[in-house]
């Protein structure tokens, strides 16, 4: 597809996308993205348009029939030789099938493009082939040939150009039947079946055109011992008999690879037909969880991830070991969508690389992110408050009931409501609730949080206040603050500290600790706890923001947060901000509190321009207003 078709399909599949995600997907700059979107809007001619909304591009469809017609034209045209990927795939297909050297002018005529365009495409194909051991030899005006190991050639096709090279490739139903029967026998699922068919198609074509696999590298010997080899035997024996040809053991290993490296299956029935997770993989899982706890101070119980995550890790290591890339399926920019889970996945990738010596690519880190995000969401649901809410009104029961029905739409299903008049709302009654919602202006005497509402109110704002109740036991956050930033809500004037750019990180951190000790928020034991964690793992989120945090010693029951800013020039290297956090013992609070704080800090770290501005703030009020107005800092737990 060309850029415009990719942008449209990305917005259709993910509903919205930020500029950075599109830049990463297309490998171009922000200006190119903006120009392409401008061209798309012109081509859509008013039946739909793409707008930049709150920092994200969104697709708005006005005329669905008109959009469907224009979209089809745009996407279909993307499959022409105007698309560089189509041209490169075509050149590769011609080189694969050629029985003589190909001349660049010949390729240019076939695609109706210039010779210079072909030379550029050949250069790109040469670059792609490097990591596969595949080269293009010869001179463009004398003749070009494809050279390389057969396995490398096949993997290059499968990873990068299968759709172009094998578009419309005919396979008789009789030849597909053995494959389908084996897939059904092993209950491998639709997606695995599609992946296996791609490998099967490449194998048949290459063998039948005289390019069988030779002896595979020794690393592939391990594939003979895996249960997926039984799947390959079912397929290869029947196909070899049908075609009256010999398919050697290397072809059997080749056709097993998409099963060896598939994504972890969902059903227990599938898992019974596949390998038992080895002890070394289970040990790696534990090391990953330990590393996450050491670096992030977030504990993931092994039972929460053990079986499914262990299987995922096993298949991932198989993919890395046997050079299997998952077919490209558009992934959202998970580092932006789920920053805490992405950081966990990055830690898991580093631990895996250290253990195996194998590089973990970004697509695998994205899949790891998905697993960790599922855990975080499940943990968030498990820790959700089952609140008892009192609704107090002075204008009649119907008005109170109306408020209750509106509030119930943004609260958990098991929330318990009780309705009271002002006269009934005594301190003894209200103190038994978790939250009081009042429609009266009269002050209520109670020790629990109170939110005042009219019969019509902003649900999103209320949702932020209600979510913030999770912090009420561990931090003094005023529910009426009107601020979605946890950092700003947890802070006050005393704990916003201006630091010196002339001091090292540790010296500035000591100044912050001295300040908190002097004000009585922490004692020297907290300094020791921070130093101990600094020895275990770096507290730097990136070169511009550090997040030293530790458990508060003793019987502390309140979160303590301080922020230090270090003024720097926009082009100057160095730390801009230190977020210092002390949390109570984990028996007194749940990890979702730390997770939400972590998420806001990671999002903040991604905004380099914002950090530059913050580093020059001289007051808590400036910081408060900046964070209140920055949607980038809204944690998912508090986001409307």
Domain limits, the chain: 3-77, 84-165, 173-272, 279-382, 388-457, 486-633
The closest of 338, 336, 359 to 23, measured between CA atoms, is 336
Intrachain domains 3-77 and 84-165 with the same fold: yes
- Range of lowest pLDDT (198-202, 276-280, 386-390, 506-510): 276-280
Other Cβ atoms within 10 Å of 551 Cβ, number: 16
**CATH superfamily assigned to domain 486-633:** Mannitol-specific EII; Chain A (3.40.930.10)
Edge-to-edge strand list for the sheet holding 16-18: 16-18, 56-61, 48-53
Inter-helix orientation angle 190-208/228-243, to 10°: 40
Geometric angle at alpha carbon 484, from 480 and 487, rounded to 5°: 105
> 3-class DSSP state for residue 80?
coil
The answer to whether residues 270 and 336 touch, using CB atoms and an 8 Å cutoff, is no
Share of the chain above pLDDT 70, in %: 86
Most confident of 177-186, 271-280, 559-568: 559-568
> Is domain 388-457 given the CATH code 3.40.50 in the classification?
yes
What does DSSP say about strands 388-393 and 435-438: parallel, antiparallel, or unpaired? parallel
Q: What is the mean pLDDT of the chain?
A: 85
Share of the chain above pLDDT 90, in %: 47
Reported residue count of the chain is 640
pLDDT in tens, 368-402: 998 899 888 887 777 666 678 898 887 677 777 88
28-47: burial string, b at 16+ Cβ within 10 Å, e else: eeeeebeebbeebeebbeeb
What does DSSP say about strands 549-551 and 577-583: parallel, antiparallel, or unpaired? parallel
Give the contacts of 622 (CB within 8 A, at least 6 positions apart).
Answer: none
Q: Is 201 exposed, middle or buried (0-12, 13-18, 19+ CB in 10 A)?
A: buried
- Give the dihedral of Cα atoms 348, 321, 310, 278; nearest 10 deg: -130
pLDDT in tens, 576-627: 999 999 988 865 446 777 888 999 999 999 889 999 999 999 999 999 989 8
102 secondary structure, DSSP code: B
Q: CA–CA separation, 546 vs 498, rounded Å?
A: 15
Report residue 559: phi and psi, to 5°.
-65, 135
Residue 133 predicted with pLDDT over 50: yes
Say what the pTM is: 0.76
Most confident of 42-46, 55-59, 534-538, 547-551: 547-551
The closest of 559, 558, 560, 562 to 546, measured between CA atoms, is 562
Q: Is 114 exposed, middle or buried (0-12, 13-18, 19+ CB in 10 A)?
A: exposed
Task: State the pLDDT confidence band at 249, using cuts at 50, 70 and 90.
Answer: very high
On the CB side of 366, how many CA atoms lie within 13 Å of its CA? 13
State the average pLDDT over residues 111-137.
95
Residue 245 predicted with pLDDT over 80: yes
Reading the block at residue 630, the tokens are 């920055």
Give the contacts of 544 (CB within 8 A, at least 6 positions apart).
Answer: 574, 575, 576, 577, 605, 608, 611
Q: CA–CA separation, 425 vs 439, rounded Å?
A: 12
Predicted pLDDT of residue 337: 84
DSSP per residue, 354-399: HHH-----HHHHHHHHHHHHHHHHHHHHHT----EEEEEESS-HHH
The answer to whether residues 180 and 172 touch, using CB atoms and an 8 Å cutoff, is no
The CATH architecture of the domain made up of 84-165 is Orthogonal Bundle (1.10)
Task: State the pLDDT confidence band at 192, using cuts at 50, 70 and 90.
Answer: confident
Residue 134 predicted with pLDDT over 90: yes
Give the contacts of 319 (CB within 8 A, at least 6 positions apart).
Answer: 261, 325, 326, 364
> 3-class DSSP state for residue 114?
coil
State the average pLDDT over residues 485-510.
93
- Residue carrying structure tokens 């172009």: 164
Across-strand partners of 275? none
Predicted pLDDT of residue 268: 53
The closest of 637, 550, 538, 553 to 595, measured between CA atoms, is 637
Task: State the pLDDT confidence band at 631, using cuts at 50, 70 and 90.
Answer: low
Largest CA distance in the chain: 98
Predicted pLDDT of residue 413: 74
**CA distance to 411, 425, 603, per residue, from 388 (Å):** 11, 14, 33
pLDDT in tens, 282-338: 899 999 999 999 999 888 876 756 778 888 999 999 999 999 987 655 455 678 889
Predicted pLDDT of residue 239: 94
CATH number given to 279-382: 1.10.1790
Inter-helix orientation angle 30-44/3-14, to 10°: 80
Across-strand partners of 51? 58
Task: State the pLDDT confidence band at 116, using cuts at 50, 70 and 90.
Answer: very high
> What CATH class has 3-77?
mainly alpha
State the average pLDDT over residues 200-225.
94
Residue 470 predicted with pLDDT over 60: no
Geometric angle at alpha carbon 63, from 61 and 67, rounded to 5°: 70
Give the contacts of 546 (CB within 8 A, at least 6 positions apart).
Answer: 505, 509, 539, 540, 575, 577, 578, 579
The closest of 593, 607, 605, 579 to 638, measured between CA atoms, is 593
């Amino acid at each position: 597809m060309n850029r415009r078709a990719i942008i449209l399909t990305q917005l259709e599949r993910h509903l919205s996308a930020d500029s950075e995600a599109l830049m990463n997907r297309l490998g171009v700059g922000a200006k190119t993205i903006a120009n392409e979107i401008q061209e798309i809007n012109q081509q859509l001619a008013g039946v739909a348009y793409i707008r930049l909304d709150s920092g994200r591009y969104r697709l708005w469809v006005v005329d669905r029939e008109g959009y469907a017609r224009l979209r089809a034209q745009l996407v279909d045209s993307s499959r022409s030789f105007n698309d560089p990927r189509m041209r490169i795939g075509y050149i590769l297909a011609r080189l694969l099938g050629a029985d003589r050297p190909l001349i660049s002018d010949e390729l240019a005529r076939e695609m109706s493009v210039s010779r210079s365009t072909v030379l550029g495409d050949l250069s790109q194909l040469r670059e792609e082939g490097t990591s596969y051991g595949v080269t293009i030899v010869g001179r463009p005006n004398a003749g070009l040939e494809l050279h390389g190991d057969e396995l490398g050639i096949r993997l290059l096709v499968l990873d990068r150009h299968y759709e172009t090279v094998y578009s419309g490739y005919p396979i008789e139903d009789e030849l597909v039947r053995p494959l389908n029967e084996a897939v059904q026998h092993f209950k491998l699922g639709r997606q695995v079946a599609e992946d296996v068919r791609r490998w099967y198609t490449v194998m048949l074509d290459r063998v039948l055109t005289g390019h069988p696999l030779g002896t595979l590298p020794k690393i592939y010997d391990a594939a003979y011992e895996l249960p997926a080899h039984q799947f390959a035997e079912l397929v290869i024996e029947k196909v070899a008999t049908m075609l009256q040809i010999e398919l050697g053991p290397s072809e059997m290993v080749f056709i097993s690879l998409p099963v060896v490296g598939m994504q972890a299956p969902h059903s227990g029935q599938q898992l019974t037909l596949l390998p038992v997770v080895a002890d070394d993989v289970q040990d790696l899982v534990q090391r990953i969880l330990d590393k996450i706890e050491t670096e992030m101070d977030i504990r993931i119980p092994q039972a929460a991830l053990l079986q499914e995550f262990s299987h995922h890790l096993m298949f991932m290591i198989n993919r890395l070991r046997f050079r299997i890339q998952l077919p490209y399926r558009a992934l959202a920019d998970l580092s932006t969508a789920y920053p805490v889970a992405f950081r966990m996945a990055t830690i898991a990738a580093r631990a895996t690389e250290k253990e195996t010596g194998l590089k973990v690519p970004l697509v695998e880190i994205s899949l790891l992110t998905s697993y960790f995000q599922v855990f975080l969401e499940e943990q968030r649901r498990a820790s959700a408050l089952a609140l008892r809410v009192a609704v107090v009104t002075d204008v009649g029961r119907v008005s109170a009931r109306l408020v209750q029905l509106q509030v119930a739409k943004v609260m958990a299903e098991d929330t318990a409501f009780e309705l009271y008049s002002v006269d009934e709302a005594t301190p003894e009654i209200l103190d038994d609730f978790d939250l009081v919602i009042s429609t009266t202006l009269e002050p209520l005497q109670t020790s629990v949080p109170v939110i005042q509402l009219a019969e019509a109110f902003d649900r999103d704002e209320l949702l932020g206040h209600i979510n913030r109740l999770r912090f009420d036991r561990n931090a003094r956050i005023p529910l009426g603050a009107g601020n979605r930033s946890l950092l700003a809500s947890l802070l006050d004037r005393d704990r916003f500290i201006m630091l010196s750019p002339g001091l090292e990180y540790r010296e500035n951190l000591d100044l912050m600790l001295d300040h908190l000790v002097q004000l009585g928020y922490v004692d020297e034991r907290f300094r020791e706890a921070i130093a101990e964690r600094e020895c275990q793992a770096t507290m730097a989120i990136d070169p511009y923001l550090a997040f030293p945090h530790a458990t508060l010693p003793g019987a502390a029951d309140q979160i303590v947060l301080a922020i230090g800013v270090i003024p720097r020039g926009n082009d100057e290297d160095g730390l801009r901000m230190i977020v210092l956090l002390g949390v109570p013992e984990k028996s007194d609070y749940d990890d979702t509190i730390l997770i939400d704080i972590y998420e806001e800090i990671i999002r903040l770290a991604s905004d380099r321009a914002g950090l530059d501005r913050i580093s020059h703030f001289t007051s808590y009020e400036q910081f408060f207003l900046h964070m209140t107005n920055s949607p980038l800092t809204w944690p998912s737990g508090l986001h409307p």
